[in-house]
Structure 1
Amino acid sequence: MKSVKIGICGLGTVGSGTLNLLQRNAQLINPRANCEIAVTQVGARRDNPNCDTSAVEVARDIFDVAKNPDIDIVVELIGGTTVARDLVMTALDNGKHVVTANKALIAEHGMDIFAHAEKCNLIVAYEAAVAGGIPIIKGLREGLAGNRINWMAGIINGTTNFILSEMDSKGREFSDVLSEAQEKGYAEADPTFDVEGIDAAHKLVIMASLAFAIPLDSSKVFTDGITKLDPQDVANARELGYVVKHLGIARQTESGVELRVHPTLVPKNCLIAGVDDVLNAVMVNADAVGTTLFYGPGAGAAPTASSVVADIIDVARVMNNDPQSWVPALGVPTSAVTARDILDIQEIETSFYMRFSALDQPGVLSTVTGIMAGAGISIEAINQKEQPATEKYVDVIILTNVTHEKSLDAAVEQIEQLETVRGQVSFIRVEHLDQ
């Protein structure tokens, strides 16, 4: 049986998990790959007690792995975008295929990396870069290859999903749940990357590049985090039959492609509404298959290692045949990828949940609805919350029908200027995800 030699760079959570999985399931993996997959070298500054490297050569300089003439596949698991990019390029220059779990690297430098890989007739595989152990990349590239993808909507960050699940089920404050998430290891000491939606934006643009054959550019994604989400709005959504989820949404329209990450109201009976805690899920709607749901653990040593090893097996299979049979990373040769119109958030059409505080007196609501009518916004439902008799202001909740975001912004600006309205208007986008 032919041997394919693997070099793993990085022995952190995912690196150690990958080494353990390859060692533990070798008798299963090798027949599936039709070759012997052997980890012969690891690049890491320090050892990890969670894995056994006694039978593996350990290099303290990761670039030694990329330049090792005996290595066939370099597995990049160091994270970051600077050294990681140099490592991947060095590996390609030295004739190595690459497997990575690095979503930031792919989202920010993928176009250069894939172009270089194509020039070198080599593979860069990245299943583990999106949604951990969920095979969404292979699902889009292979399982749904015969479909026209209409839209995708995903819970693709476990930290934000855990926080919102706690806020919804227990009425907790954002800061309180964030502290617990940090204690449990779900959130970093600096959680900005997760709670502001940057991590989800990276993952969304990678999926969209496959679904719609568009260039990788995370700066085109409208991104809104969950830090300013009011628990009152989460509770109101529940009363109205909705759940608030932090979604990454990509939709192909006649005008262009929508790419957006933000808190979203979804109906409780929607498939994705029941995905709680740190789990991930991606809904994909396509013309032939209809709507599918990819669901499971989006992070962790073993789930992410599952995706890394799946890519290693795929690359090993191709090495035994013709590397050119591998579908390039964007679904079409990189030389054929052209820019598509990415819609500005102002051009997005969706429904909205609105909440504002208004004087409890005749004529106020008619003024507000008149402003919205003037902006061309149709109202689906309106609800005035009960307040104590001594309170002059009451909370008003409005659900709109589908409208342009620029129309809503124009109406909100006028409503906030009314003397009968106190403070700012809160609004959250609503997605029914049924068409």
Structure 2
Amino acid sequence: MSEADKPRKNLKVAVLGCGSVGSQVVRLLTEQADDLASRAGATLELAGVAVRRLDADREVEVPAELLTTDAIGLVARDDIDLVIEVIGGIEPARSLILAALENGASVVTANKALLAEDGPTLFEAAEKAGRDLYYEAAVAAAIPILRPLRESLAGDKVTRVLGIVNGTTNFILDKMDTSGAGFAEALEEAQDLGYAEADPTADVEGFDAAAKAAILASLAFHSRVTAADVYREGISEVTAADVASARDMGSVVKLLAICELKDGPGGEAVSARVHPAMIPRSHPLASVREAYNAVFVESEAAGQLMFYGPGAGGSPTASAVLGDLVTVARNRLADTRGAGESAYAARAVLPMGETLTRYHVAIDVDDRAGVLAAVAAAFAEHDVSIKTVRQEGRGADAQLVVVSHRATDAQLSATVEHLRGMDAVREVTSVMRVEGGGE
């Protein structure tokens, strides 16, 4: 009997949530059932879909007999082998995942917020149960980035992960750069096109990107990093003038997730931060347009790698979910499990104040002799070297634009506060970090 003629085993799949991602997962499970079975080595039978309301409108039609509002009852069924969690949020997702693992199911999740807040609890539960917990879809949707960090680069030392991991903010900043629009106008366009939620706080204030940065840093540096460990600034204060100033410097403004290995007081430490920054237009991330995501990885042996693609949306995220599902199904058939949490390095997280960075500072000043010298003296007092300085406007419109060399964030922050207290300074109108383009 050939392999094709052998009867396949049957693995039953429960899906928790049937929103934009869950509905696409259900669609792909149904439409690609034969191909998925061939790749997994078993029929992946959709056994139930947990939803909040049975009568809600959905993107795909789900047979009524598969729908249930009893999510805990679904994951507790003895015949469920694999559970897909695409509800999002902390609860009830955490309780449902823990119940599924305890009941012997392997789990695939796209829940970045939960993993960033309480990942160790989930990983420990998976280890205890001897089951898989996979989560490729939690960061950058269809872009394969977590598995390369966990597996492909397992023999290398990753030193830096730099990424655009939120499509909403990238769309807004791209529109501000290409059209000259202000933040509010670009946000409204993003909402009209469906790229931004009615309440865009999680995206524009950097919470979404910070959760993803925590996951990336944890994997890259084999240390536990939570969202609370990640320094976070959003883009709501970025102005059209900031974007124009970046353009004058040959740069572009992007919301970046930056995870690095740095020298700390007790040895190597992790730096994890999310904030808007100016990067040179020659940098690979500068060309990432609209709602796309990209992650730039640097390692000692492989050098520089870049992963690019759609970072959000129902179908792209479902693609990553199904990829994980095939893997955990194979593991289930082989009675094995994939790599669990790797936190052996247990590196400390470096406070933002100790992180080396550069600042772009725009300062409204009195147009009189000695002001430039006084401003330079303020930088020097805090041991911050100036890379470039230029004056724009005259009289009441006089402004100095200063770009520093690298210094600690604490030194640069103290310099800005010093400037704000100077008689010759009317206002510090803009402060933005600068990445790339030298020291």
Aligned twin of 2:262: 253
* 1:218 maps to which of 224, 227, 250: 227
2:353 is the alignment partner of 1:346 = yes
Residue 114 of structure 2: which of 101, 105, 119 is its match? 105
Q: CA deviation at 1:216?
A: 3.7
Q: Does 1:298 align with 2:316?
A: no
Once the two structures are TM-superposed, the CA of residue 243 in structure 1 deviates from its matched residue by 0.6
Deviation at 1:162, TM superposition (A): 0.8
Letter in 1 for 2:21: V
Shift of 1:386: 2.8
| Counterpart selection for 1:374 from 381, 404, 410 | 381
1:121 to partner: Cα distance: 0.9
- Determine the C-alpha separation between the residues in 2 that align with 1:207 and 1:276: 22
Aligned residues: 426
| Structure 2 equivalent of residue 308 of structure 1 | 321
Matches of 1:408 and 1:92, distance apart in 2: 47
Q: Check if 1:17 corresponds to 2:21.
A: no
The worse-fitting range, judged by mean Cα deviation, of 176-185 and 105-114 is 176-185
Residue identity in the other structure for 1:294: F
Q: Which residue is equivalent to 1:331? A: 342
Gaps of 5+ in 1: none
Q: CA deviation at 1:343?
A: 1.1
Aligned: 1:426 with 2:430: yes
Residue 271 of structure 1 corresponds to 284
> Shift of the alpha carbon at 1:48?
4.6
- Specify the alignment match of 1:60 in structure 2: 69
**Could you give the per-residue CA deviations for residues 376-430 of structure 1, whole angstroms, max 9, x where no partner exists?**
212111111134xxx3341111111111111112222222111111023521111
Q: TM-score, normalised by structure 1?
A: 0.94
Aligned residue in 1 for 2:178: 169
Matches within 5 A, 1:14-163: 14-44=21-51, 45-46=53-54, 48-54=57-63, 57-163=66-172
**Equivalent in the alignment of 2:3:** none
Task: From 287, 298, 316, give the equivalent of 1:285.
Answer: 298
Cα deviation code 1:119-154 (max 9, x no counterpart): 111111111111111111111111212110000111
Q: Name the CA distance, whole Å, in 1 between partners of 2:424 and 2:63.
A: 73
Aligned residue type for 1:135: P
- State the distance in 2 between where 1:79 and 1:181 align: 22
Cα distance in 1 for residues equivalent to 2:425 and 2:121: 51
Q: 1:235 aligns with which of 241, 244, 263?
A: 244
State whether residues 125 and 311 of structure 1, in contact with CA within 8 Å, keep that contact through their aligned partners in structure 2.
yes
Higher mean alpha-carbon deviation, 208-217 vs 425-434, is at 425-434
Q: Which has the larger displacement, 264-273 or 365-374?
A: 365-374
Q: Report how far residue 22 of structure 1 moved.
A: 1.8
Structure 1 runs (4+) deviating above 3 angstroms are none
Give the letter for the 1:327 counterpart. A
Contact 1:39/1:56 (CA < 8 Å) preserved in 2? Answer: no
Whether contact under 8 Å (2:210, 2:227) holds in the other structure is yes
Q: 1:398 pairs with 402, 408, 415, which one?
A: 402
Q: Cα deviations across residues 321-341 of structure 1 (Å, max 9, x unaligned)?
A: 2424x110x335xxx463x22
1:9-35, Cα deviation, whole Å (9 max, x unpaired): 111110010111122222322222122
CA distance in 1, matches of 2:243, 2:228: 28
Contact 2:19 2:58 in 1 (8 A): no
Please give the alpha-carbon distance, in whole angstroms, between the structure 1 residues aligned to 2:50 and 2:207: 28
How far, CA to CA, are the matches of 2:184 and 2:58 in structure 1?
A: 34
Q: Is the 8 A contact 1:65 1:74 kept in 2?
A: no
Matches of 1:232 and 1:63 in 2, distance apart?
Answer: 52
Map of 1:184-203 to 2, 5 A cutoff?
184-203=193-212
The AA in structure 1 aligned to 2:415 is A
1:350-361 matched pairs, under 5 angstroms? 350-361=357-368
Change in 2 beyond 3 A, CA 1:129/1:74: same
1:253 partner SS: strand
For structure 2, the 5+ residue unaligned runs are 1-7
SS at match of 2:151: helix
* Cα deviation code 1:131-187 (max 9, x no counterpart): 111111111111212110000111111111111111111111111111222222211
Q: Which moved more, 1:60-69 or 1:306-315?
A: 60-69
Measured on the aligned residues, the alpha-carbon RMSD in Å equals 1.7
Preserved contact between residue 416 and residue 425 of structure 1 (Cα < 8 Å)? no
Q: Structure 1: which amino acid aligns with 2:12?
A: K
Distance 1:434 1:208 in 2: 24
Query: Shift in Å at residue 64 of structure 1?
Result: 2.0
The separation in 1 between residues aligned to 2:335 and 2:81, in whole angstroms, is 15
Matched residues in 1 for 2:143 and 2:242: separation?
Answer: 31
Taking the aligned partners of 2:198 and 2:422, their CA distance within structure 1 comes to: 41
Contact kept in structure 2, 1:42 and 1:56, CA below 8 Å: no
Identity among equivalent positions (%) equals 40
Structure-1 separation of matches of 2:111 and 2:383:
44
Q: Which residue identity does 2:301 align to in structure 1?
A: A
**SS of structure 1 residue aligned to 2:398:** strand
